[in-house]
Amino acid sequence: MSNILHVGLNCIEPILDMPTNRSIPNKRWHLACTAIYSSRALYSLLNQKKKKKKNRKLPVPSNPSFVVLNVKPEAFSSIDHTTLTAIVNEKSFNKLLEFGGIEGVADALGTGIKNGIDGSVNDVALRREAFGSNTYQRPPAKRLFHFVVEAFKDLTILILIFCAALSLGFGIKENGAKEGWYDGGSIFVAVFLVISVSAVSNFRQNRQLEKLSKVSNNIKVDVVRNGRRQQISIFEVVVGDVVCLKIGDQVPADGLFLDGHSLQVDESSMTGESDHVEINSHHNPFLFSGTKVADGYAQMLVTSVGMNTTWGEMMSTISRDTNEQTPLQARLNKITLSIGKAGLAVAFLVLVVLLVRYFTGNTEDENGNQEFNGSNTKADDIVNSVVRIIAAAVTIVVVAIPEGLPLAVTLTLAYSMKRMMADQAMVRKLSACETMGSATTICTDKTGTLTLNQMKVTKFWLGQDPVEDSSLISTDLLNLIQQGVALNTTGSVYRATSGSNYEFSGSPTEKAILSWAVLELDMEMEILIKDFTILHVEAFNSEKKRSGVSIRSEADHNTVHVHWKGAAEMILAMCSSYYDASGRMKDMDDGERMTFEQIIQGMAASSLRCIAFAHKQIPEEEHEIRETSQKLEEDSLTLIGLVGIKDPCRPGVRRAVEDCQYAGVNVKMITGDNVFTARAIATECGILKPHQDINNEAVVEGEVFRNYTPEERMEKVDKIRVMARSSPFDKLLMVQCLKQKGHVVAVTGDGTNDVPALREADIGLSMGIQGTEVAKECSDIIILDDNFASVATVLKWGRCVYNNIQKFIQFQLTVNVAALVINFVAAISSGDVTLTTVQLLWVNLIMDTLGALALATEQPTKELMKRPPVGWTEPLITNIMWRNLLVQALYQIGVLLTLQFKGESIFGVNEKVKDTLIFNTFVLCQVFNEFNARKLEKKNVFKGIHKNKLFLGIIGITIILQVVMVEFLKNFADTERLNWGQWGACLGIAAISWPLGWVVKCISVSKKPFLSYLRW
């Protein structure tokens, strides 16, 4: 038996072709493969005779003592995606150990634990082919037909279709197919157009939201490829990639923990459990796609991507909900319902009056004969007349209900979303567009929002002396500084060749310190990492504002070094001694401590971020005792040095802040920097005026604000302009206080620590470049360029949305009031409606759709930023709007009723031409009034009109279609051709809307809401 096995092994060895220079894990893995397949060969040999007897047709292997196996790493034949998926999904240590642990899996995937995959085009393509891409199948997008069906569900549309069918049937029966289809057919055409416009606009909005969703899902991920740390799209991650994770990141794929410290993951998106899960290589190395990093940092090996992950399977079944109803839409629905009830009451009254007049014999046909003669009237004629009366009443309902209001909101939100994207703001929630227009306070970060986030070390102090020449630093002290920088960091340094430039990665602060240490202090990061072993890490977070590390030298196992780095005054408080410029350690008394504080304050007053480095050396025995508590030494440290980092303000940020303040919006800066740096930056940006100092409560520290009583906080929160050294809780507390005082609060944030405040705020604004994925997910709008000027632009667009809706409401209600009153008076007095079914539907069409499109696409103007914010409790229809619409509606009613009763004698025309004059004048009045609606308060309604080519185009289209209706569709629209004089009269009457609108705006109105006078 042993001889057979020996022969098998000898045969397999040359085929496996295992090089002698492989790593130990590689050798172990290949030896394991050899043993497994030798066993299979032995089993095959022992059962060969038995199989031969059972099936003589089976070919006998010529050399049954071994099995040919292709285990080339580049072909990934030794591992498949099913096995990889099972290892992580089942959290199976046994399966992991079968492959030689994490190192064995990495080797099977051709991944270097330190250098990652090769990353060449062919390598990535091969991995994608073998294991799939990091994308998931989305549910099919809703097609246009879906929105057509949704539009058909509208009750009014269904009633119209029913009436259209009846009208069409009886019309054809009475007048024949050639002319009998006009009324019913026109209703069908109108219904078709209304449904088409509504469905197309909703369909386009849905597509736009889908595109935005794809952009927001395109997360940038840090990976190591060929030894170089680089950023790639989450969709480009492949199996075998080494991914770098930090606080706030979303885990981009399923994988295994390689290296890292204090890693805790929020798996609530997968399991529903809110407790954070600790990830390490010993007990739980399994990482799941879609989870969030809550603390620490790490590197992971990607084992499954896309649809092979649980997250991918779950996301493929979820579609984005585009039926979100914004607060403004909810308010408009209430208005629509109220107007609809009024219209329904008028229509019902008209129906009753017309039916009574018909059945009492007070109506006449076209020949002047009485329509109803009791039993002498045919049943078909009665039914046809009743259907015509019902259709007229229903049409009044259609005109009365401002269906264009929801459409106008949809159009203006979709338009503003598209334009805001071009202005570096991506809207994640539709409601944020309009809510931003009501914002009264903006709480903003400093770093990256008000500043450029391009940091550079400009000052360096050793002891109490500034250092200009690094060559003067003692060797021992220089070594300590380099250790504190290289080993206490989440950043990295990469250099392709000795002559090429360095590439620094990590947070902006980390990159600034690393570049300074490498370029100024000649730090060799790779050598330091090899010479020391990291024992324990305390990762940086915004509450502690410091990070620490304990290390042991490979040359000296008896001593442990503890290094701390962080906010200067906090590190200083932990120190009892310091190194002077010559490298000698000195005790720190109160006087020297005050000197260091003055140095820190001096740098902060120059807008520098101050970072301190401290060190302590402890014996191995003492470290082992402290290791059980997993806490680093924090007392009696020795201060190594101080660095000042400059982060210049963004160009134009002062102007943007002043624009917000001029618009009545308070801007507050909430930062983790110390009070002197915060004050300097706030003054530079214009948030703080030079005369506002710390004593007048404009600048506070987070701890002070936190320790106020609730009454003191509520009293002082409005006065605060800057909050320094703030924690996430302080930021949340500030937002809550402001909301309690009635403010509409917008908050900017980029880190995981900002999530509570982003959720609490009325509008959460996350940063697209520096923002973590957790912050983006909790925000309403993503500022793509991290610029405060873009926040001011969002504010302007928010006000524009609200203003455009108000313009359309004023325009729409003018039409509704005029049409209702005219038809009601005409029906009561003459027994017939002035405007026919076709004409009313035409008015409804051009006002609801074309009017909405024209007014909803007005761009923001400078005047919008000269007004105070519009409060949520203020009425949507203001007194100014009531003044404008009532005057215009009364003018139209007066003119059209004059034409109704005196038009024949004034113009010397017959009734048919008179009705056409009324219809034409009514439509042209709306066209001219559309110009008035562009400006609610300003008298010059033509300002900036040349910039809105869409508005001018819609006006032109409306006039052309009206000419076609009157001159060429006389049978369809029930009109008569008008001569030049009659057209001129219609235009003249309609044009009076302009001077009337100018005069009306001279009338002042009360601030008390108009409708409040009608309440008992």
Instruction: Name the residues annotated as catalytic.
Output: 445
Angstrom distance (rounded) from CA 758 to CA 770: 15
User: What is the distance of C-alpha 514 from the center of its chain?
Assistant: 33
* E strands in 927-976: none
Residue 231 parent element (H or E): strand 228-233
DSSP code of residue 112: B
Angstrom distance (rounded) from CA 426 to CA 215: 9
Tokens of 132: 């799939």
Q: Give the list of residues 6+ apart from residue 772 with CB closer than 8 angstroms, or none.
A: 247, 248, 249, 750, 751, 752
Angstrom distance (rounded) from CA 614 to CA 8: 62
Q: Which of 753, 897, 937 is nearest to 295 (CA)?
A: 753
**Residue 453 backbone class (left: φ over 0; alpha: ψ -120 to 50; beta: rest):** left
Residue 259 parent element (H or E): strand 254-266
| Angle at CA of residue 780, ends 779 and 784, nearest 5° | 80
Residue 769 parent element (H or E): none
Residue 748 near residue 780, CB atoms below 8 Å: no
Angstrom distance (rounded) from CA 787 to CA 484: 33
Q: Which of 639, 611, 626 is nearest to 536 (CA)?
A: 626
Specify the 3-state DSSP secondary structure of 563.
strand
Q: Which of 490, 462, 512 is nearest to 614 (CA)?
A: 462
Residue 825 near residue 899, CB atoms below 8 Å: no
Cα-Cα-Cα-Cα dihedral of 910, 987, 811, 835, to 10°? 10
What's the chain's Rg over C-alpha atoms?
Answer: 38
Burial 977-992 (b: 16+ CB within 10 A, else e): ebeeebbebbeebbee
Tokens of 320: 């984005």
**Residue 639 backbone class (left: φ over 0; alpha: ψ -120 to 50; beta: rest):** beta
Angstrom distance (rounded) from CA 256 to CA 817: 68
C-alpha to C-alpha distances, 177 to 169, 380, 405, nearest whole angstrom: 9, 16, 37
The count of residues in the chain is 1016
Specify the 3-state DSSP secondary structure of 933.
coil
Q: Which of 730, 646, 731, 658 is nearest to 688 (CA)?
A: 658
User: What is the distance of C-alpha 990 from the center of its chain?
Assistant: 45
Q: What string of DSSP letters covers 646-707?
A: E-PBPTTHHHHHHHHHHTT-EEEEE-SS-HHHHHHHHHHHTSS-TT--GGGTSEEEHHHHHH
Residue 612 parent element (H or E): strand 608-619
C-alpha to C-alpha distances, 359 to 233, 371, 830, nearest whole angstrom: 75, 9, 15
Q: Which of 901, 938, 927, 948 is nearest to 992 (CA)?
A: 927
Angstrom distance (rounded) from CA 117 to CA 110: 7
C-alpha to C-alpha distances, 174 to 170, 365, 379, 926, nearest whole angstrom: 6, 14, 12, 35
DSSP code of residue 251: P
Specify the 3-state DSSP secondary structure of 94.
helix
Angstrom distance (rounded) from CA 762 to CA 747: 8
